[in-house]
Chains A and B, each alone.
Chain A
Amino acid sequence: MSINPDQIIKFSPMHRLQWEEVQQKDVILYPEGMVELNQSSAEILKMCDGTRNLTQIVSDLEQQFATTGLVNDITAFLEVALKNGWIQQK
């Protein structure tokens, strides 16, 4: 499964992304399950709010963290996210 760089990405309405105070991390919640996220994965998923495509997510995150060269890492993670149904492209 691959990401179309021009298509808008949104977080799946069948999952919930939430900050867990006790664990001090973001998690994805879904029926009877939970995935714990590291900080960079969480930051990428928060960008999947239905207003940006891959190209915009990369440029916004590079700007936010004052860095460059994130495209490969972000693409690879979003492909995993798509495969797991955490995000959608429509």
Chain B
Amino acid sequence: MAGSNKNNITPPRWLLAELTYACPLQCPYCSNPIDYAKYQSELDTEDWKRVLTQARKMGAVQLGFSGGEPLTRKDLPELVKHARGLGYYSNLITSGYGLTEEKIIELKEAGLDHIQVSIQASSQELNDHIAGTESFQHKKEVAHLVKKHGYPMVLCVVIHRENIHQMPQILEMAEELGADYLELANTQYYGWAHANRDLLLPTKEQFEQAEQIAQAFKEKVAGKMKIYYVVPDFHEDRPKACMNGWGTTFLTIAPDGVALPCHSARELPGLDCPNVKDYSIDQIWNESKAFNFFRGYEWMKEPCSSCDEKEKDFGGCRCQAYLLTGDMYAADPVCSKSPNHSVIQEAIDSARASALSDHEKPLIFRNSKNSKKLS
């Protein structure tokens, strides 16, 4: 494994436990890898407990149980209980599908701190279309039950061209459901969202209008509901400080035990991401090639390496640089200083052309059949 100056390495704070790639929903912007169907194996309960214990010892404190749909794991309450005993703040990131009142109580007793429920749209028709599963009414019931049992509730709505026009109704729905936090997550174009970008990417005018509506709402509900607004970086001229810097804060463990510096890092070539079955979290975080690959500034090329903003955004997102330029060392092309910046405008133009076309191709839904076909 590659060496690095251990003194400069900060401990992980956030552990994202992707318990499974199994999911009853088929959202066409899913952040799971396109080829997820080929990763069939899942860590067992003891593996996960060991991972949680080791990461907690290093300083991880926020824990996300995610997937896929984490509720498909029968051992979820046992893992939640283990996490609570270790002092994690546990977040369940769920579609709500299959979540019963009994389960909500069981998880609360096990020590779960918070439930984030995703809703795909503000209307049944669009929600069920995007989710690829009839789920709207059940999700709303789940949201009520989450509040009833005293959890803080985050409602998460992924925003894209199919639902961005519903922004006023989405905000109304969040208020009606009593959400403590509303996450308005503009789609980030990785994985399935990358494959469906022409159909999902809104126009700049749509973004600006939706943002304005969300901003006015934020002021209206100040003190009652908090809004997390995930910025649509395709319409910015500086990249996001992805993952707060590579290997500084976030640790993702994929269902098969592969440790990733971000949940999309599987798409990057040659990182040799280590598996928790072979190495401890300490070894993975401090010594592995993958976690040291983009730490610090040594790896950077121009214009990043001499840029006076490099400590602010770390050159942006490595996965986005790779997906859009083919070079994972390049500046994130969202940056207007990037020599490849024109690819962003080309993507926006291509999406607009697709929206105006009479023969728009259909969305590719996230399911095993499509995964096998595309990988």
A: residues with CB less than 8 A from B are: 1, 13-14, 16, 18, 20, 22-23, 27, 29-34, 83, 85
Distance to closest chain A CB from B173 (angstroms): 18
Which chain B residue lies CB-closest to A84? B226
A14 with B180: in contact, given A31-B152, A32-B154, A83-B223 (CB under 8 Å)?
Answer: yes
A16 with B89: CB separation less than 8 A: yes
**B86-122 CB contact bits vs A (8 Å, 1 = yes)?**
0101010000000000000000000001101000000
**Interface residue SS majority, chain B:** mixed
The number of chain B residues touching the other chain, given as a range, is 20 to 34
* A30 CA / B281 CA spacing, docked (Å): 24
Provide the bound-state CA to CA distance between A31 and B89, in Å.
8
**Is B150 close to A, CB under 8 A?**
yes
B179-204 interface mask toward A, CB cutoff 8 Å, 1 = contact, 0 = none? 01100000000000000000000000
* Nearest 5 Cβ contacts at the A-B interface: A22-B59, A29-B89, A31-B114, A14-B152, A31-B154
Q: Is the CB of A20 within 8 A of B154?
A: no
| Contact, CB under 8 Å: B91 / A31 | yes
Contacts of A1 in B (CB 8 A): 223
**Is there contact, CB below 8 Å, between B113 and A16?**
yes
For the complex with contacts A13-B150, A31-B152, A32-B91, 6 further pairs of A-B residues with Cβ separation under 8 Å are A14-B180, A22-B59, A31-B180, A32-B62, A34-B61, A85-B223
**How many angstroms between the C-alpha atoms of A20 and B255 in the bound complex?**
28
Known: A22-B11, A83-B223. A31 touches B59 (CB 8 A): no
B57 to chain A, nearest CB (A): 8
In the bound complex, what is the Cα–Cα distance between A33 and B114 (angstroms)? 11
What separation, in Å, do the CA atoms of A75 and B127 have in the docked complex? Answer: 46
Q: Are B13 and A34 in contact (CB under 8 A)?
A: yes
Q: How far is the CA of A58 from the CA of B64 in the complex (A)?
A: 38
- Which single residue of chain B is at the shortest CB-CB distance from A23? B59
**Chain A residues within an 8 Å CB radius of B57:** 22
Give B contacts to A, CB under 8 Å: 11, 13, 57-59, 61-62, 64, 87, 89, 91, 113-114, 116, 150, 152, 154, 180-181, 223, 226, 228
Q: Report if A18-B87 is in contact (Cβ < 8 Å); known contacts: A31-B152, A31-B154.
A: yes
Which residue of chain A is the closest to B64 with respect to CB atoms? A32
Question: A85–B181 Cα gap in the complex (Å)?
Answer: 12
- Across the interface, do A31 and B116 meet the contact criterion of CB distance under 8 Å? yes
CA distance A31 to B154 in the complex (A): 8
Max chain B C-beta neighbours (<10 A), residue from A23, A27, A30: A30
> Whole-angstrom distance between the alpha carbons of A85 and B228 in the complex?
15
Cβ of A31: which chain B residues have Cβ within 8 Å of it?
Answer: 91, 113-114, 116, 152, 154, 180-181
Contacting pair B61 A29 (CB below 8 A): yes
Most buried by B among A14, A27, A29, A32: A32
A32 and B115 CA atoms in complex are apart in Å by 10
User: In the complex where A14-B152, A83-B223 touch, is A33 in contact with B62 (Cβ < 8 A)?
Assistant: yes
* One of A22, A29, A83, A85 near B113 (C-beta < 8 A): A29
The 10 listed contacts between A and B (C-beta, < 8 Å) are A20-B59, A23-B59, A27-B61, A29-B62, A29-B89, A31-B181, A32-B91, A32-B116, A32-B154, A34-B62
Q: With a CB–CB cut-off of 8 A, which chain B residues contact A30? A: 89, 114, 152
Contacting residues, chain A, for B116 (C-beta < 8 A): 31-32
Q: Give the interface centre of B57, B64, B89 by most chain A CB atoms within 10 Å.
A: B89
B343 to A: closest C-beta gap in Å = 31
- Which A residue sits closest to B59, measured CB to CB? A22
Cα distance, A31 to B223, chains bound together (Å):
16
A1 to B152, CA, bound (A): 22
Set of chain A residues within 8 Å of B152, measured between Cβ atoms:
14, 30-31
Least CB separation from A29: chain B residue: B89
Q: Which residue of A lies closest to B114 (CB)?
A: A31
- Kindly list chain B residues whose C-beta atoms are within 8 Å of the C-beta of A32: 62, 64, 91, 114, 116, 154, 228
In the bound complex, residues from chain B placing their C-beta under 8 Å from that of A14 are 152, 180
Closest to B150 in A: A13
Tell me the nearest residue of chain B to A82, going by C-beta: B223
